[in-house]
Amino acid sequence: MTAAAQRGTTTVSERAVRRIAERATTEALPAPGGTRTARAATSVRGRRAEVSLGVTLPYPAPLADTVREVQRHVVERTRELTGLEVSAARISVIALAAPTSAQPLVSPAEDAVPKSAPRRWWSQRRVPVAVLTSVAALGCGALALDVVQVHTAHLPAAAWRTSAVHWLAGHGPGDPAVLVAGGLTALVGIWMVVLALTPGRRHQSTVRTSAYHVDAAVDRSAVQVLVRDAVGDVEGIGAVRVRVRRRRVTVRAGLAFGDRAGAHAAATAAARAAVTACHLRRDPRLRVVVAPEPVWQPPAPTADASGATPGDGDGRSTPASALASAPGGDR
């Protein structure tokens, strides 16, 4: 029997490895609307192969767990079918796609306890935290560096530290400068406590979502634009001003022509429909004010079916001159 070294070698091309990796990616989530491979790149060097994949994952789904499962399955399946040593596959999520099935991709435990949308989003307060952390780090770092230099290099204490100690030794608690500094420090502390206990993001409102464990919010300026456009489309309405707050939406519209009561009812219905379409977590109170513009005139009285105007029993209008000359017309 011919030795294995004399029978030749089997070479697995990069194209074959790429096809196998793509197939393994689709096997990781075989359900409808699952993972779809957008692009793949492979590199084969001897007995080692490197795989990079760009995938589209189903939404909603746990991103980290899904990527970890796809990565594990691709590595094991490619190693099994090619016989090559495959290092950890690099997975890039390039898009999220809604599943075609009606059921959300969540576990039974998560499905049993759905998560409702919060009334307010909490801000991370990055700017105040960054400023406070930077100031504290700078002060502590400068003090620690000066102390280390004094004890290790036997250098004299820094001038700013000795000046600060001498100034503090010469000023007591009743000194005006000490009182001002203490008051400013107390105000900063109160402000930081207020920032920690308030949610922030006052320009955003949370909305209702049908997906589990998904929080969404809409900017109040977007709600303002939607309500303004909806009210502006009402017949007879001119300029529109909208103010959106957390619990109230105020609409002030100008009436250019038409009936005031009918325009107010139509504007209220349009504004309410626009607010309802936003699916806000908290339904705000709606206040609509329609004020006539300077060019507005009351609509002319309309004739009835017989052609008579109000105030005339025989269907003919009475001129003003006839009323003036009639007996009793001057009373």
Provide the CA 259 distance to its chain's centre, in angstroms: 40
Q: How far is CA 17 from CA 22, 50, 73, 81, 122, in A?
A: 9, 9, 14, 9, 47
* Location of structure tokens 């939406």: 249
Per-residue burial over 58-72, b = 16 or more CB atoms within 10 Å of its CB, e = otherwise? bbbbeeeebbeebbe
Interatomic CA distance for residues 200 and 323, integer angstroms:
69
Name the β-bridge partners of 218.
Answer: 205
Q: Which of 268, 263, 278, 266 is nearest to 226 (CA)?
A: 278
Instruction: List 57's β-bridge partners, or say none.
Output: 96
Q: What is the pLDDT of residue 326?
A: 41
Return the pLDDT at 186.
92
CA 173 from centroid of its chain's CA atoms: 48
pTM more than 0.75: no
Residuewise pLDDT in 10s, the chain (331 residues): 456 556 667 777 888 888 888 888 888 765 544 445 556 778 888 888 888 888 877 776 777 778 888 888 888 888 888 888 887 788 877 777 765 544 444 444 444 334 454 566 677 778 888 888 899 999 999 999 999 999 998 888 889 988 988 888 888 888 888 899 889 999 988 988 888 887 777 777 778 776 666 667 788 888 888 899 999 999 889 899 999 988 899 999 999 888 889 999 999 999 999 998 888 888 889 999 999 988 888 777 765 545 555 444 444 444 444 434 444 444 3
Give me the residue label for tokens 């309802």.
276
